[in-house]
Amino acid sequence: MHFRAPRRFFAILAASALVLMAVGVVISNVGLHREYILMATTTSTRDTGLLSVLLPAFRDATGIEVRYIAVGTGQALDAGRRGDVDIVIVHAPMLEIQFLADGQGLCRNQVMFNRFVIVGPRDDPASVAQATSAIDAFRRIAENESLFESRADNSGTHTKELELWALAGLSASTFGSWYERTSQGMAATLTISNERDSYTLSDDGTWFALEGALPFLRLLYSTDEPVLQNVYSVIPVNPAVHSNVVFEKAVAFARWLIGLDAQRLIAEFTVNGHPIFTPAPVGGC
């Protein structure tokens, strides 16, 4: 009698644990084939808010649900390489080409582009607003040794920033203490710039979304130069390499994104009243 209670207790404990795990199996859809597409995209893509418009529209049109993970560019492509997702949307053309060359991607549709812009302190000590080109703007910042925040996280934005320094004939590794590395996402980096009155390179979507919360920063340089274009593409993962991917639905999504309806939604999409995306459909899928 004294010794039965623990046995009972452990039996209940083990039983509840098993029941809850079984619940987990059911809600996790373990083993069963997925109905929805799983997509990997970047945090900046998520932060523009465009997905909240596009994904429901796609579901209404085709009945196909798209769920996504928002990670760094590198991790998004890695998720594709591991076969953990069915499709990726990224904005890193060089890495995308490599991805396809490695046979990881089935095909590629270019969807749209937005811009990189330079934001900085209201008084603009380096006179970036008067720059004649993006490269010139970066040169001014370096010459003036103004505080600059780099994302330093191997993201698409960081890659573009390094490209601009290189085009200006400069190397980020030689910069002094005015060049700061945040190792964080765009929103966090903009917040840091706002706190420290520094310059930074941002995508226009995130800038316009957060502008209201960044009173000490101003949009200083925004043009449609090709070098500032941030091109987004969608790549379904190659089913020949990963047989588990839901590739027919993924390809359907890739095609829908360059179709008329999606492209219209993209063109009409605004953040705080600013249109950010330019439709640029180029189909390979």
Partner 1 sequence: MAGDIVDITLLSLYVSSTSTLVATAVAVPVGIALGLREIGSQRLLKNILFTLYGLPPVLAGLLVFLLVSRGGPLGPLGLLFTPLGMVIAQVVVVTPIILGITMSVVSTVESRLKETAFVLGADAHQLRVTVMREATAGILTAVMVGFGRAISEVGAVFIVGRHIEGQTQVLTTTIITDIEQAAYGHAIAVGIILLVIAGLVYSLLYRLQERTLQ
Partner 2 sequence: MTMSVEVEALRKSFDRRNVLVDVDLHIPPGEILAVIGPNGAGKTTLLRIVDFLLRPDAGAVRYDGRDGPADPEARLALRRRISMVAQNPRLFRGSVFYSVSYGLCVRGVEPPELPIRTLQALEAVGLVDRLHARTSDLSAGEAQRVAFARAVVFRPDLLLLDEFAANLDPANARILEAAVLEYNRSTGTTVILVTHDMFQAKRLANRVALLYEGRIIESGSVIEFFDEPGDPRTRAFVRGELAY
> Candidates 3-11, 94-102, 159-167, 257-265 — which segment interacts with partner 1 by CB under 8 A?
3-11
Q: Check binding of 49 to partner 1 (CB under 8 A).
A: yes
Q: Check binding of 3 to partner 2 (CB under 8 A).
A: yes
Residues whose CB is less than 8 angstroms from the CB of residue 281 and which lie 6 or more positions away in sequence, other chains included: 109, 110, 111, 112, 257, 258, 263
Q: Check binding of 236 to partner 1 (CB under 8 A).
A: no
CA angle in degrees (0–180, nearest 5) for 88-91-97: 75
Q: Of the two residues 168 and 201, which places its CB atom closer to partner 1 in the complex?
A: 201
Q: Of the two residues 9 and 17, which places its CB atom closer to partner 2 in the complex?
A: 9
Q: Check binding of 8 to partner 2 (CB under 8 A).
A: no
Nearest-approach distance from CB 16 to partner 1, in angstroms: 6
Q: What is the distance between the alpha carbons of residues 119 and 116, in angstroms, rounded to a whole number?
A: 10
> Candidates 1-9, 64-72, 79-87, 189-197 — which segment interacts with partner 2 by CB under 8 A?
1-9
Residue 278 burial (CB count, 10 A) = 14
Q: Check binding of 5 to partner 2 (CB under 8 A).
A: no
Q: What is the distance between the alpha carbons of residues 194 and 125, in angstroms, rounded to a whole number?
A: 15
Nearest-approach distance from CB 242 to partner 2, in angstroms: 58
Give Dmax (Cα) for the chain: 89
Residue from 181, 196, 218, 242 in contact with partner 1 (CB under 8 A): 242
Q: Residue 250: name the closest of 112, 156, 113, 109 by CA.
A: 109
Residues, the chain: 285
Q: Residue 217: name the closest of 115, 137, 117 by CA.
A: 117
Structure tokens at 199: 């310059």
Q: Residue 199: name the closest of 237, 144, 252, 238 by CA.
A: 144
* Binding site partner of 69, from partner 1, partner 2, none, Cβ cut-off 5-8 A by kind: partner 1
Q: Check binding of 187 to partner 1 (CB under 8 A).
A: yes
Helices (H), the chain: 4-27, 43-48, 51-62, 73-82, 93-101, 134-144, 156-167, 186-196, 204-210, 247-257, 260-268
* Binding site partner of 270, from partner 2, partner 1, none, Cβ cut-off 5-8 A by kind: none
Contact assessment for residue 221 and residue 117, using Cβ atoms and an 8 Å cutoff:
yes
Strand partners, 116: 203
Residue from 56, 61, 67, 270 in contact with partner 1 (CB under 8 A): 67
Nearest-approach distance from CB 14 to partner 1, in angstroms: 5
> Candidates 28-36, 131-139, 155-163, 168-176 — which segment interacts with partner 1 by CB under 8 A?
28-36
Q: Check binding of 271 to partner 1 (CB under 8 A).
A: no
| List of residues contacting partner 1 (CB under 8 A) | 2-3, 5-6, 10, 13-14, 16-17, 20-21, 23-25, 27-31, 34, 38, 43, 46-47, 49, 51-52, 67-71, 82-84, 185, 187-188, 190-191, 210, 213, 242, 244
| List of residues contacting partner 2 (CB under 8 A) | 1-3
